[in-house]
A = this chain, B = another copy of it.
């Protein structure tokens, strides 16, 4: 099935307790696309400025990602984010955000993208996300991410969006913020009752939780000793998940569970280096090999 992602494309500057990188390739749609590409063809929609080097686009294209929806705005600059990770590598502080060209990003989908069946709305305001949904009337699976920013600033619009979604992916602090409930099991179901058929709460190094009407479960993170840069972990998790679903062509409970496991595995690779550096080194066989370890780990 065709998979469409709309989200941010960015330059990230990242400080960890031991290392530092400036202006490396990042953005929610980039991490998502690359992670999904191990499983499925991905159509990326995003925007960059004229400071965007062709080599980044080339890297994505070589991986089979359709970048024809990546709009380049002349005379404008690409979204830039700078952040710093705490020693636990799970908490981070945003030091700088320059939305630049992303601030006025109003995605207009190329006609050939409008038949997309699997759609992921990565980082963006609920209003923008709804605008995308309006353009994919035949979508079979609509999943979005959200952020504390939108919960705080556009809660009503987010609530409207939630009623139009099949799935929502958000992190633990966001789920607590949205529901005012500190128990994640209750919070997950409360978010689900706001509209989406399923909800995934990402807990960083502690894995992810899944909630549907009939199911509640936890997927622990794959225990890697080599956490170098967690940036994009959530987006690569979502990419692995959606890529697997799109390839499977269904989102039955069993497929969804496998998809969460694949998302977990791809994210565990992503955090092992900066930017896409680790994901660039691996292929589907590496994903399958670690998945076999993960299955072994969880069976008793």
A contact residues vs B (CB 8 Å cutoff) = 17, 87-89, 182-186, 189, 203, 205-207, 209, 216-221, 223-225, 227, 254, 257-258, 260-261, 295, 297-300
Contact = CB atoms under 8 A, between A and B. Distances in A.
A268 to B, nearest CB: 11
Nearest to A88: B182
Given A298-B299, A300-B261, A185 B223 contact: yes
A219 B223 CA distance: 11
B218 A297 contact: yes
A100 to B, nearest CB: 33
A51 to B, nearest CB: 35
A220 B207 contact: yes
A243 to B, nearest CB: 17
Given A186-B225, A225-B183, A299 B297 contact: no
A258 B299 CA distance: 9
Nearest to A253: B300
A299 B253 CA distance: 12
Given A203-B206, A298-B298, A299-B298, A182 B223 contact: no
